[in-house]
Structure 1
């Protein structure tokens, strides 16, 4: 599947290094130091109701991570899935009377358009689940042959082309814990009661009769009437949720890749189970660092498709909101925090963009090159920006760039990075062109 056009990423003079990133597994900051290329997997969308601000917040966080790696001289290999066949998508298609394939295709295209407008670096491998059905079914067969998957009697299953009626297949957590180095809860650090609650809330079926453990996740769903299904060695059906990401990540990135990313709502069960599947298939850990973004709320509730309280990037763009302002509104909150979107955040971002453009845009660069002094941004950021006089001391752009790099290497501290640029915009800077390049390269905002 094609992704979207890559934004231009300019180089910035000076040197940087790998970032320290919060690791959910250890609840600590760890050095996200690539051994070869920086290998990143970020879980993608289920393509309906795309792209809301919560989506954008997650992909912008890992866009920032990529920019820090690139600035430090690392090559980045980034993979992302699209869950283009799943129960929620099929339910939405049925409810709206749209073919599920057409719904997925239209929403993926909208997602591409939004990501490109926001200047998000695209994945090298943008993979739809429907493109790897054979690989997923082969992986499920391997798990079954190894005694790590088992069938559960399935009402309503229908025969495939070979006349065989398959059964739903489940991952055996206890067997995997016994035969591999993975243990349930390794990645999430949750107690049993929390895992059971989240499993039920996030697509699991703890009450399913015939399962060996209430938390055992579905690997392969047997074919049902009126639902999409594919022929395979494990019977006609389609993939479960967690196994798809395990297979795509292993296929595109290999084992022990640098960072597994996604929203905090994926910590359990998705990332925990995906890690277990990958360990069982490969004998190696899935990733070195597990990094998660906070949830964005709106109107008092977590922004979610099920609640329908969505702020869509496409709607903001249709209202002629500058995508750079959307980006700045998101960067103003630390990627790991939970926060609530309001119109005031967007107003603040528009004011910030105006101030930065005045201080470091084309006119400021031209003025500096012609020998003008005392160039400063208008006071549109309240206390964050004070109009500088011609007598104000001139800031050093190189020092600002060093400070930006330091802030971003410390767990992607974009709020601090924005404050640094705000301060610089309030007074004369010796090299606005250098600041312009740094803001473009590190924060993805072209002035």
Structure 2
């Protein structure tokens, strides 16, 4: 599957400090222990509706992670998936009277255009579930052979992962069993399924059903489960252990818990990720922005109304990435004014020195992505009284820094 076009990231003189990032499994902000190379996997969309601002905020978070790592001199290997066959996609296609394949293609194309508009650095590998079925089949086969997976004895052909095969199960989310059961039921699991060894055992392979897409394989005809898809892709393209596993807060359980358990059962290497980092949800009109509630503010709709994508990006930098944030039109209006202020500032004939601004932006972003502090530092520079006539050099530093570190083109 093709990704979106590469983003040109300018070089800024010097290197920023080492990134410190929150790790959900450790429940603390700590350094990302990498040197010249880092690996990052961020779970992608299930393409059954256009990109809303909750999606955008998540991918913007990990775009900033990549930019900060690059600024500290680290090469980032970034992989993302697209769950282009799954129950929600199939259900939406049936509701709308469209082939599920066509819906997946349409919404993935729209997602790409939204990411391009927001200047999100694309992944090196952008992979759909459909094109990676062989990887999943191989992984499930190995789990069956090792005893970490089992077939349900009801003739459906469904295969489940046995969570008892991973003695560390639960360490990613740190949730108790009642919480895990509640989230499993809410987020695509089937804790009440008859015949499972444990209510929390996740589906690895769904056997063929009438009218359901399926593929022939060595483990029977069917299609991949959700969690094993990401584990198989990450292992194949990033290795047995990765530095950062990213996604929205709602993926903490069951998705990241289960995909980590699958990967660790397959390789014996633990922990699967050095950091499990989760972006908080974005709300609108008092509720978490979600397709099921229908309270979506979509990137494509805002840009179609003539809103500058850089203003959208700047608005999404408001508040801390780990916190729940309520989207309001005020954020957008304020960000449009801030963007205008910055652009006017870099056109001034005389500008203040940018050294302090650059140092402050780097310091803020390296401290668990303090975007409010970074934005304030740029605004402080933009409103400061020029003290010398070195405007050409200062303006160039600001434009490159804001572009490279915040992803905003001035």
Please report the TM-score for the alignment, with normalisation by the length of structure 1: 0.88
**Structure 1 residue 35: Cα displacement:** 4.4
Match of residue 381 from structure 2: 424
SS at match of 2:166: helix
SS at match of 1:33: coil
**Structure 1 residue 416: Cα displacement:** 0.5
**Equivalent pair of 2:79/2:123 in contact (CA under 8 Å):** yes
**Equivalent pair of 1:17/1:69 in contact (CA under 8 Å):** no
**Structure 1 residue 334: Cα displacement:** 1.2
**Equivalent pair of 1:42/1:261 in contact (CA under 8 Å):** yes
Gaps of at least 5 residues in structure 2 are none
**Structure 1 residue 271: Cα displacement:** 0.2
SS at match of 1:132: helix
**Equivalent pair of 1:439/1:446 in contact (CA under 8 Å):** yes
Question: Whole-Å Cα distance in 2 between the matches of residues 151 and 89 of structure 1?
Answer: 25
Query: Where does 1:31-430 land on structure 2 (aligned, <5 Å)?
Result: 31-154=31-154, 157=156, 167-177=157-167, 183-285=168-270, 286-360=272-346, 363-364=347-348, 367-368=349-350, 395-429=352-386, 430=390
SS at match of 2:69: helix
Spell out, residue by residue over 1:385-423, the C-alpha distance to the aligned partner (whole angstroms, 9 max, x if none): xxxxxxxxxx43112101110101000111100011111
**Structure 1 residue 338: Cα displacement:** 0.3
Question: Whole-Å Cα distance in 1 between the matches of residues 356 and 334 of structure 2?
Answer: 26
Match of residue 372 from structure 1: none
Question: Whole-Å Cα distance in 2 between the matches of residues 175 and 66 of structure 1?
Answer: 33
**Structure 1 residue 255: Cα displacement:** 1.8
Please report the TM-score for the alignment, with normalisation by the length of structure 2: 0.96
**Structure 1 residue 17: Cα displacement:** 3.1
SS at match of 1:227: coil
Aligned residues: 403
Question: Whole-Å Cα distance in 2 between the matches of residues 18 and 425 of structure 1?
Answer: 26
**Structure 1 residue 130: Cα displacement:** 0.4
Match of residue 391 from structure 1: none
Runs in 1 of length 4+ with deviation above 2 angstroms?
Answer: none
**Equivalent pair of 1:262/1:292 in contact (CA under 8 Å):** yes
Question: Whole-Å Cα distance in 1 between the matches of residues 154 and 379 of structure 2?
Answer: 60
SS at match of 1:10: coil
**Equivalent pair of 1:187/1:272 in contact (CA under 8 Å):** yes
**Structure 1 residue 93: Cα displacement:** 0.4
**Structure 1 residue 314: Cα displacement:** 0.2
**Structure 1 residue 235: Cα displacement:** 0.2
**Structure 1 residue 36: Cα displacement:** 4.6
Question: Whole-Å Cα distance in 2 between the matches of residues 222 and 354 of structure 1?
Answer: 55
**Structure 1 residue 187: Cα displacement:** 0.3
Moved more, 215-224 or 420-429: 420-429
Question: Whole-Å Cα distance in 2 between the matches of residues 335 and 6 of structure 1?
Answer: 24
**Structure 1 residue 154: Cα displacement:** 3.8
Which structure would you say has the larger RCO, counting Cα contacts within 8 Å and 6 or more residues apart?
2
Decide whether aligned partners of structure 1 residues 267 and 134 sit closer, same or farther in structure 2, where only a CA change above 3 A counts: same
Give the number of the structure whose alpha-carbon radius of gyration is greater: 1
Question: Whole-Å Cα distance in 2 between the matches of residues 294 and 213 of structure 1?
Answer: 29
Spell out, residue by residue over 1:86-111, the C-alpha distance to the aligned partner (whole angstroms, 9 max, x if none): 00000000000000000000100000
**Equivalent pair of 2:282/2:324 in contact (CA under 8 Å):** yes
**Structure 1 residue 15: Cα displacement:** 2.3
SS at match of 1:292: strand
Gaps of at least 5 residues in structure 1 are 158-166, 178-182, 369-374, 376-394
Taking only aligned residues, the RMSD between alpha carbons, in angstroms, comes to 1.1
**Equivalent pair of 2:281/2:288 in contact (CA under 8 Å):** yes
**Equivalent pair of 1:169/1:220 in contact (CA under 8 Å):** yes
**Structure 1 residue 48: Cα displacement:** 1.3
Match of residue 408 from structure 2: 445
**Equivalent pair of 1:153/1:210 in contact (CA under 8 Å):** yes
**Equivalent pair of 1:255/1:287 in contact (CA under 8 Å):** no
Question: Whole-Å Cα distance in 2 between the matches of residues 2 and 130 of structure 1?
Answer: 13
